């Protein structure tokens, strides 16, 4: 098992210094990314991840120079060459390499880099027992719907939460609770699941979409996509975050106060179990 990389379709040793100084991803964060989980040697939900990648590229006017079939092949190649069966695959596409100038350079070819790493076992405890979170100001730009390489707001927010002994920072913009720094946020109140509506202020998480359109609907759980404030969160019985790496992680403490009973709630647990069942089915796990 070895963590390896791929540049423009070719496997490389991850320790090679292949990013050019003039790459616009390096200079400006001018690019997009995706993260896909691999379970039992199979990519989970690759199609919606790649659909979102193409959308992000379109929104930033970066030409899509790889087909879905090629990108699928690159994911499979990384799994095969690395021998890592349970992994996270990171994919970045930058606008390309060109002498530094803010406006888009002409005739620049987008650059693809990918890497594969074993899944982190460190977050399994959070999934089982729940995690601590805190509310923090949402200081990001106004296009959080694009999965862009510009993650400074998210990075600073995550560090603020980490410094306070929390796993995740739940962001608040103009009094409205938006999402985590690397996850979508849900609360459960009186058996109804609430989450911020899809718009430019949050990332439309692949996991979020599965929770709303497949899991909750199959389980007969009502989900509303509506705005809510801090006071609403504090009155909720359960809270959880969703994400490709996070999967469904319960939040048991918010701002050092217990959420509901302070232990993992029944609605969250049901959704979490159903999410794992989906993975088992699609990735032929167990």
Q: Which residues of 246-265 are buried (b: 16+ CB within 10 A; e: fewer)?
A: bbbbbbbbbbeeebbeeebb
- Interface with ligand PLP by CB under 6 A: which range of 116-124, 155-163, 204-212, 255-263? 204-212
**Total number of residues that touch ligand PLP (CB under 6 A):** 13
User: CB of residue 146 vs ligand PLP: minimum separation in angstroms?
Assistant: 11
- Taking the least distance from each CB to ligand PLP, the nearer of 30 and 34 is 34
How many whole angstroms separate alpha carbon 223 and alpha carbon 218?
A: 12
Residue 195 in contact with ligand PLP, rule: CB under 6 A: no
What is the DSSP track for 193-205?
EEEPPSSTTS---
Residue 196 in contact with ligand PLP, rule: CB under 6 A: no
User: CB of residue 206 vs ligand PLP: minimum separation in angstroms?
Assistant: 4
DSSP conformation class of 229: B
- Interface with ligand PLP by CB under 6 A: which range of 158-166, 182-190, 227-235, 261-269? 182-190
Residue from 207, 249, 253, 268 touching ligand PLP (CB under 6 A): that is 207
Residue 249 in contact with ligand PLP, rule: CB under 6 A: no
Residue 206 in contact with ligand PLP, rule: CB under 6 A: yes
User: CB of residue 142 vs ligand PLP: minimum separation in angstroms?
Assistant: 14
Residue 169 in contact with ligand PLP, rule: CB under 6 A: no
Active-site positions read 147
Residue from 98, 184, 195, 268 touching ligand PLP (CB under 6 A): that is 184
- Interface with ligand PLP by CB under 6 A: which range of 5-13, 20-28, 186-194, 203-211? 203-211
Residue from 179, 216, 249, 251 touching ligand PLP (CB under 6 A): that is 179
Phi, psi (degrees; rounded to nearest 5) at 168: -140, 145
User: CB of residue 98 vs ligand PLP: minimum separation in angstroms?
Assistant: 27
List Cβ<8 Å contacts ≥24 apart for 101-108: 102/28, 104/61, 105/24, 108/24
Would you give the end-to-end CA distance of the chain in angstroms? 21
Q: Which helix (H) or strand (E) holds 232?
A: helix 230-234
Residue 110 in contact with ligand PLP, rule: CB under 6 A: no
Q: How far is CA 14 from CA 42, 46, 75, 87, 211, in A?
A: 22, 23, 15, 15, 34
Query: How many other C-beta atoms lie within 10 A of the C-beta of residue 172?
Result: 16
Query: What is the largest distance, in Å, between two alpha-carbon atoms of the chain?
Result: 58
Site residues (vs ligand PLP, CB under 6 A): 154, 179, 182-184, 203, 205-208, 242-244
């Amino acid at each position: 098992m070895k963590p390896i990389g791929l540049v423009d379709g070719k496997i490389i040793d991850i320790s090679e210094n292949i990013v050019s100084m003039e790459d616009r991803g390096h200079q400006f964060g001018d690019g997009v990314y995706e993260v896909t989980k691999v379970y039992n040697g199979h990519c989970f939900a690759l199609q919606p991840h790649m659909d979102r990648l193409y959308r992000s590229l379109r929104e930033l006017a970066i030409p899509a120079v790889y087909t879905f079939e090629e990108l699928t092949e690159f994911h499979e190649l990384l799994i095969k060459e690395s021998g890592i069966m349970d992994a996270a695959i990171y994919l970045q596409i930058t606008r390309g390499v060109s002498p530094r100038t803010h406006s888009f350079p002409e005739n620049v070819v987008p650059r693809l880099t990918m890497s594969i790493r074993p899944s982190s076992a460190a977050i399994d405890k959070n999934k089982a027992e729940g995690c601590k979170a805190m509310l923090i100001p949402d200081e990001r730009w106004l296009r959080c719907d694009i999965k862009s390489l510009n993650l400074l707001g998210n990075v600073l927010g995550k560090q603020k939460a980490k410094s306070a002994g929390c796993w995740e920072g739940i962001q608040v913009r103009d009094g409205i609770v938006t999402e985590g720094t690397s996850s979508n946020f849900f609360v459960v109140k009186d058996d109804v699941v609430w989450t911020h509506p899809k718009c430019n202020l949050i990332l439309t998480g692949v996991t979020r979409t599965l929770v709303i359109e497949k899991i909750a609907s199959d389980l007969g759980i009502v989900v509303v996509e509506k705005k809510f404030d801090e006071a609403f969160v504090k009155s909720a019985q359960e809270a959880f975050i969703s994400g490709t790496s996070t999967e469904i992680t319960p939040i048991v403490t918010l701002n050092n106060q217990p959420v509901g009973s302070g232990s993992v709630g029944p609605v969250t647990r049901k959704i979490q179990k159903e999410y794992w069942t989906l993975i088992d089915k699609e990735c032929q796990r167990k």
